[in-house]
Structures are given as structure tokens and as C-alpha cells.
Amino acid sequence: MGSYTVLLLIPAAGSVLVLLSVSPARAHTWVFVLQMSWQTLCHLGLSSQELDPQDARPAITLSAIMLLTQKATSLALDIHERVVPLQLGQGLLQRALPLCSYLLFFPALLGGPLCSFSRFRAQAESSGALPRPLRSAGQRCLCALALQGLRAGLVGGLAGRQGCAGLGCLPHVWVRALLLRLAYYLHWVLDEALLEVAGFGPEAGQGDLSIRDLWTLETTHRLAVFARTWNKSTSRWLRRLVFQRCPAQPLLATFAFSAWWHGLRPGQVFGFLCWAVMVEADYRIHPFLSARATSQGVKLLYRGTTWVFTQLIVAYILVAVETESFSMLCLLWTSCNSILPLSYGFALLLLLLAKKLKQN
């Protein structure tokens, strides 16, 4: 990473100094402000410069800073909640080294699910005595190879076909989102394989992606279930950091913070806020519909239709989040792809109005 390493070392050193010098009751607030301020400055600074598109170091740096923010705020919360006590009797270096090791453990900064400080320390202390789970890592690599083959085959199959293209075409947007999902799945599997080889694999059910999660993501007819299953370790971190601590509108606050954490590009702000509205609508629409699906045929129609709707809305959100220019975002917003999200938003307003009238 060359000189970009400095952008990572500064917040890591600052977080360690804060954790060692500030009282546990205020450590979380100070670490949160430090990390998010620095991360926002890095996002704005690097995005405003004309960088070499062939140079991957800026993107790797921003990704590592985002994952460092996850680990630093998670550790600060553990200290704030007395889950991780700081040994005050030890010397400064003895107290700082475990924190630095946790924050700068590089396989976890390249990707992978969030690991708590307690689990990291336990695994580090026993890493020499435990065999490396190479079989599990090999299975993940084979899964990654299959995902890459599926993605390459899909790209090759679409290259020779003539059809509609652009953000105004509904099938094109859905296929583009499918390719994005496969790319995410591929990276998550490789990240976890790297951690397995390093001896720091996630606990069962604590990783970002398993075969069961993959099946759930692609077959669920509930947008809320998709949101909880997508990037599970980040979802758990957001729930703990924002959702459980926000006194008002926790769902909207969680998705708004996620947009901030991802970089606050127009597409990210629009996509995550749209996601929040769609999940809120999902919570209210499905109980209303499922109560009226009494026969087996109606239930099948209900699940099939809502699965298609979920797929199309997820595609719309993913393409919006990955859209970098404001003009392309406007093109997506004014296309026919916006009909279904607008319909969900309108249904949410009607159900809220009906609930308010019923209460009155």
C-alpha cells in the first residue's frame, strides 16, 4: 500500500491512545468520533482527487479504514460495557500491544467478518497449538471457484445477446445486480478462506456467507430477511452500534449511518435510504398480505409474487448504491425500475394512515 499505509496507521494509533487514556464510560464516544471523522475525510479527500484507475491502493485503503472503524468501535463498546477489562496494573506497552495487534491484524483488514477482541485474543493465544483448518479453507476456495465460474459464464452468455441495455431496462438492471451479488459472495468466501488459513476463522453462523445464507438470500420473499442476512457481521455491528442505541427511528438511523460509513456518495445515500423505506414497508405489507392468503393456491401466489418483487427491489437498491455519478442515478430514478419501490412506499403510507385512523 506504500504511503497509503499512513492513512491507516493514524486512526489505529489514535484509537489505541484514546482507549488507554479515556475512561471506559467515554471511550466509545471518543473512538466513534475519531474514526468516523477520519474515515469521512479520507473518503472525501480520495474521491476529490484524480487517481489512476489502475491503482487499487486507494480502494483497498478506504476498505481497510472502514473495517478498522468496525473493529475500533466494537472494541470501544466492549470496554464501555465492561466486556473487555483493561489491565490497569500493566505497563503502557503491555496494554497497547494487544490492542494494536487486534486493530492492525491485516487479514481482517483485507476483508472478512468482524471478530470480537475477546475471540481474537483467545485464538491468537492458542494459534500455535491448534491445527490449521485447511479442509474448511479448501472448501471455501472451491465455492469461490464455482461462484467465479458462474459469474464468468453469465457474463459470457450475456455478451452475445442482443437486447435492451442501460438503467432504463428492467432485465438489464436485474442481471447487473445479480453480477454484483455474485461478486460480493465471491469476495466474502475468499475473505473467510484467508482467515481460516491464518487460524482465525469465524465461529459457526458468525461468518458473512454460508451455503444456508446463500440459499436464504436468493430464495427469500421478505426484504427484511434479505437485509438481516446480507453481510451478516456488518448487520450485527450496525444493530449493536446504532439500532439498539437509537431512541427514535432506529431503522432509518441505522441505514442512514450505513450510508455515511460507506462514503456518502449520492447513490449510496439514495440507495440506503430507499432500503430503509423498503424494509419498513416490508414489515407492514407482509402481515397484511399473509393474513389474507388462506388457501394453498393463494399462499403460493403470494410467496411467488413477493419473491419477484424482492428480487427487483434488491436489484434496484444494489444498482443505486453502486452508481457513482449523479446523472446515472437520475437516469435510474426516472426509469420504469422506480415503479415498484414507489408502489411499496405508497403502500406503506396507506397502511400507516389506516393504522392511525384505526387508533383514532
Active site residues: 231, 262
Q: How far apart are CA 114 and CA 103, in angstroms?
A: 11
Q: How far apart are CA 323 and CA 176, in angstroms?
A: 12
Q: How far apart are CA 357 and CA 360, in angstroms?
A: 5
Crossing angle (nearest 10°) for helices 92-103 and 5-21? 140
Q: How far apart are CA 28 and CA 72, in angstroms?
A: 9
Q: Which three cell numbers stand for residue 336?
A: 420504469
DSSP, residue by residue, 259-283: HHHHT--HHHHHHHHHHHHHHHHHH
Alpha helices in 22-56 (DSSP H): 24-48
Q: How far apart are CA 321 and CA 216, in angstroms?
A: 22
> Cell 487514556, residue?
21
Q: Is residue 160 classed exposed, middle or buried when 0-12, 13-18 and 19+ CB atoms within 10 A define those classes?
A: exposed
Crossing angle (nearest 10°) for helices 57-80 and 232-241? 50
Output the CA torsion sign for 71, 73, 75, 81.
negative
Q: Which three cell numbers stand for residue 177?
A: 445486480
Q: How far apart are CA 270 and CA 183, in angstroms?
A: 22
